């Protein structure tokens, strides 16, 4: 949150989510199961929100369920949700099953189990990876996770850069077949030029909030 205080003032209207924990990707899971400690507490975020005047609406936390260190992360995630709700902040839990114990991180039942943990933890939202069933439709496989999450709303990780039309079709399937509440898009936006990224984000927005068709969304992207 360091320099945001100095420069974030340029973007006062943007709603922020502060991610509470993170790690590098240098230590691989065959060496050690993933471990990610909190960088900040919710109390830190509240203090920062007041000092900076930024529009901070939510906090996020990643739980690597199935890691030998999941106990510490489940504890921190539970506390993050409990405290965030006391301060009127939304929560998003990144639920990423990962560790030596797990043969296939994208197994639909495993992803659904992770979404269920986010539900137990009482998060408003959970972000999961798009499952890859051995057979059958991915969007249908994701539906199990949406159900398992209960009243916790599920959003899907965007993954690596793909063709725009394919991306929009996948998102449409997730929203309408799986029942997700949105999508966390990163590389598909910031690896484009500003102009293209804005058009792309507008297309995603129309798909998600206005429920337009894939073709209409693509037309928005095409400008």
Q: Which are the catalytic amino acids? A: 96, 127
Say if strands 125-128 and 183-184 run parallel, antiparallel, or are unpaired: unpaired
Stretches 84-92, 161-169, 187-195, 203-211: which one binds a copy of itself (CB under 8 A)?
84-92
90, 49 Cβ separation under 8 angstroms: no
- For 9, which DSSP code? G
Size of the site for a copy of itself (CB under 8 A): 57
Of positions 13, 26, 88, 209, contacts a copy of itself by CB under 8 A: 26
Among 4, 58, 157, 162, indicate the residue that binds a copy of itself (CB under 8 A): 4
178 DSSP assignment? I
List the structure tokens of 90: 């939304």
Residue 23 burial (CB count, 10 A): 13
Q: Does 52 bind a copy of itself (CB under 8 A)?
A: no
3-class state of residue 187 by DSSP:
helix
Structure-token match 């560790």, residue found:
99
What is the DSSP-derived secondary structure letter of residue 166? H
What character string, x for contact with a copy of itself (CB under 8 A) and - otherwise, covers 91-130? x-----x-xxxx-------x--x---x-xxxxxx------
131 sits near a copy of itself (criterion: CB under 8 A): no
From residue 161, alpha-carbon distances to 138, 146, 180, 186, 187 in Å are 18, 24, 20, 9, 6
Q: Is 37 in the site for a copy of itself (CB under 8 A)?
A: yes
Tell me phi and psi for residue 152, to 5 degrees: -80, 125
- Comparing CB distances to a copy of itself, the nearer of 21 and 169 is 21
The least CB distance from residue 27 to a copy of itself, in Å, is 5
Interface residue list for a copy of itself (CB under 8 A)? 1-7, 22-24, 26-28, 31-32, 35-40, 44, 48, 51, 65-68, 70-72, 74-75, 78-79, 81-82, 85-86, 91, 97, 99-102, 110, 113, 117, 119-124, 150-152
């Amino acid at each position: 949150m360091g320099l945001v205080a100095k420069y974030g003032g340029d973007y006062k209207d943007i709603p922020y989510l502060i991610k509470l924990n993170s790690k590098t990707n240098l230590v691989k899971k065959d060496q050690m199961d993933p471990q990610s400690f909190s960088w900040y507490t919710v109390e830190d975020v509240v203090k920062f929100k007041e000092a900076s005047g930024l529009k901070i609406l939510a906090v996020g936390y990643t739980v690597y369920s199935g890691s030998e260190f999941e106990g510490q992360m489940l504890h921190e995630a539970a506390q993050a949700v409990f405290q965030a709700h006391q301060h009127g902040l939304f929560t998003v839990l990144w639920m990423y099953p990962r560790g030596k114990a797990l043969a296939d991180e994208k197994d639909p039942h495993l992803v659904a189990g992770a979404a269920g943990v986010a539900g137990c933890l009482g998060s408003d939202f959970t972000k999961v990876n798009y499952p890859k069933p051995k057979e059958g439709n991915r969007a249908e496989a994701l539906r199990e996770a949406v159900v398992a999450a209960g009243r916790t709303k599920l959003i899907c990780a965007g993954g690596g850069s793909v063709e725009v039309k394919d991306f929009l079709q996948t998102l449409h399937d997730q929203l309408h077949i799986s029942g997700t509440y949105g999508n966390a898009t990163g590389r598909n936006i910031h690896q484009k030029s500003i102009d293209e990224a804005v058009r792309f984000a507008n297309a995603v927005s129309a798909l998600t909030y206005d429920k337009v068709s894939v073709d209409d969304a693509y037309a928005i992207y095409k400008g």
